[in-house]
Structure 1
Amino acid sequence: MGLVWWRLEMAAPAELEESLLWKLPLLGVTRVALQHPPEAPEQRQLLAWLPESDWPADQRQELERALAPLGEPFQVALPQVHWRRQADEDWSLSWKSHWRPDPVGERLLVLPAWLEVPPEQAGRLVIRIDPGSAFGTGSHPTTRLCLEALEALAGERTRAGRGADLEGLRVADLGCGSGILGLAALRLRAASVAAADTDPLAERATRQNAALNGLAPSALAVTTGSAEALLALLGGRPAELLLCNILAPVIEALIPWFGQLLSPGGVGLLSGLLVDQAPGLERDLAAAGWRVEGRVEQDRWGLLRIRSASDVA
């Protein structure tokens, strides 16, 4: 007889999605999927599969208690958790069935690794991702904001005659998660990506996703650590494009490093912040010599595009 499984089901509000995907693996729950129907992307549902033998009632209750604080920074309550007992569930096929190709912007396609490109999306730039790695699958508003901003920047450079897309740019990805932003930059013809994350699981996920996309280590280098580790990976040479999709308080703490990570004339894309956090972050950036040249919002989340204040607009 095969294993018996508990299937966890709960709503996944946009504010909590990334936090849940980060926290669950740390609590020993690695079989996780998200349902986000393209026709109703706001109705996300989180699913997870746990072996019954490893998760008796008291352990499941402890898991719920450990997840509850995730909503506090956003002043939302953790949605109700539902448990379904399933005999002989082939979870590996079950969770995969919930993922779909996800077009982003005008040109990008985030594709679960086991799926084929749909014929109607054949002209898009494909980013293959193993959603089992979590840490950023393209569905969260902040990730989508970054992907769309990368595409917009590529279009601006092409129209201005500065090369095709992001051609020639060295990219620094601080807080890389799954590596999805660096992969998108490379699909948009960036020369190379240096990526770092404080979580070693994110480093592993980024390496795995780079391999899924057929990339050599020289194209996407990744390490565990924060700004100092990223600067070392860059060989002390600042990049022309800085990506930073992290929560606002972390971005604020990292501002002193931006001058070493981003070259004069370079562009920074900062996301992970709530819209009401943007004014305070803009003040901190201005005080440190950075100019916000654009702000984009989606749901309650925002993205800031920055340059050095000394750069000519």
Structure 2
Amino acid sequence: MNYKEITLMINHELEPFIADILNEVGANGVVIEDSEELKKGRIETFGEIYELDPADYPESDVRVKVYFSELDYHDGIIETIEEKINQLHDVKVTRLEISTDEVQEEDWANEWKNHFHAFKVSDKFVIVPSWESYDALQEGEHAIHLDPGMAFGTGDHATTSMCLKLIEKYVLPNQSVIDVGTGSGILSIAAHKLGAAPIKALDLDAVAVKVAQDNFEKNDCLDAITAEPGNLLKGETEKRDVIFANILAHIVDLMIDDSYALLNDNGLFITSGIIEEKETMIVEHLERVGYRILEITRDSGWIAIAARKEA
């Protein structure tokens, strides 16, 4: 199957909203290339970090590449994207340029290799793509071997990296976990590396479930993590100690009540995919059902939250 690639050049003010918009129009995959990435000084933060190639990034603003399968694409998608961007309230649109291209399936599979290299994402976790080797692990560090394929979650996006940092801070050995919207499976793998068990990984997208299972096998934890299709927490009855949800704010909002009911007393809810503008809505809902906010972290216009179910 081939894919349609739509490239958007947008100003930075639009970037926190673009993922929501593209999800609404049914995107199969998104790559965000922010010109500011070259200025962040990652080496100073966590030590050995991969070198970014300036050729992969625009000179200014943000380049967004969004993909649709040939079965999902239709001519009205571009018009819909433009309409949704122009309907954003209190967000100035100073750049919006759109172009399209055709992508062969084999080119899609190789696209990640041009952008994704081994890097240390937190104090304890080093992300290593499956096509690279890494022999610089330090004591106390864990390598997470990934081939993201067509699923979200390489650890490089702010939402995923913030979740990983909260996981390494709060998740304990032998805690039971359910990972909602697992994508590449990265959060489930991190929990396994820390000794959590049992772990269940859910995703509405069957492709993501298969990608996650492949990554579990790469990390020698295929038998330790159950991966299956699932619509948020619908149909889940077994209580857990920890729930992860790195998805979009309006979807997080839909599952807050169910997450609280499904957690054991003193259970932990770690969530991200929330733009800063939706922080108040999510925090108020969490507190309304009985959660106590432990920590809120911020990065690049996104937030992540760790919340505790009070006994």
Aligned to 1:137: 154
Deviation at 1:260, TM superposition (A): 3.1
SS in 2 for 1:133: coil
CA distance in 2, matches of 1:246, 1:67: 20
Worse-superposed segment, 40-49 or 127-136: 40-49
Deviations 1:70-93, CA, capped at 9 Å, x for gaps: 646685768523457999x96655
2:310 matches 1:309: yes
Code of the residue aligned with 2:203 in structure 1: it is D
Code of the residue aligned with 1:257 in structure 2: it is D
Code of the residue aligned with 1:135 in structure 2: it is F
CA distance in 1, matches of 2:115, 2:201: 29
Aligned to 1:159: none
Aligned to 1:274: 275
Worse-superposed segment, 262-271 or 284-293: 284-293
Contact 1:175–1:245, Cα closer than 8 Å, also in 2: yes
Code of the residue aligned with 1:213 in structure 2: it is N
Contact 1:174–1:242, Cα closer than 8 Å, also in 2: yes
Percent of aligned pairs with the same amino acid? 22
Provide structure 1 residue ranges, at least 5 long, that are not aligned to the other structure.
155-165
Code of the residue aligned with 2:289 in structure 1: it is A
Contact 2:266–2:310, Cα closer than 8 Å, also in 1: no
Deviation at 1:240, TM superposition (A): 0.9
Aligned to 1:262: 263
Aligned to 2:185: 179
Contact 1:35–1:98, Cα closer than 8 Å, also in 2: no
Deviation at 1:263, TM superposition (A): 0.7
Aligned to 1:65: 79
Contact 1:200–1:224, Cα closer than 8 Å, also in 2: no
Code of the residue aligned with 2:98 in structure 1: it is V
Deviation at 1:133, TM superposition (A): 2.1
Aligned to 2:199: 193
Provide structure 2 residue ranges, at least 5 long, that are not aligned to the other structure.
42-56
Code of the residue aligned with 1:217 in structure 2: it is D
Code of the residue aligned with 1:225 in structure 2: it is N
SS in 1 for 2:160: helix
CA distance in 2, matches of 1:267, 1:287: 16
CA distance in 2, matches of 1:254, 1:76: 31
Code of the residue aligned with 2:119 in structure 1: it is D
Contact 2:273–2:303, Cα closer than 8 Å, also in 1: yes
Deviation at 1:227, TM superposition (A): 0.6
CA distance in 1, matches of 2:252, 2:5: 36
Kindly tell me the number of residue pairs found equivalent between the two proteins. 281
RMSD between superposed Cα atoms in Å: 3.8
2:253 matches 1:252: yes
Aligned to 1:127: 144
Contact 1:34–1:99, Cα closer than 8 Å, also in 2: no
Aligned to 2:53: none
Aligned to 2:229: 223
Contact 1:131–1:137, Cα closer than 8 Å, also in 2: yes
CA distance in 1, matches of 2:142, 2:22: 25
Which of 1 and 2 has greater Rg?
1
CA distance in 2, matches of 1:202, 1:104: 22
User: TM-score, normalised on structure 1?
Assistant: 0.72
Deviations 1:32-75, CA, capped at 9 Å, x for gaps: 76657974469665557999xx79xxx89655335446646685
Contact 1:18–1:136, Cα closer than 8 Å, also in 2: no
Equivalent position to 2:170, from 153, 161, 172: 153
Aligned to 1:113: 130
User: TM-score, normalised on structure 2?
Assistant: 0.73
Deviation at 1:182, TM superposition (A): 0.8
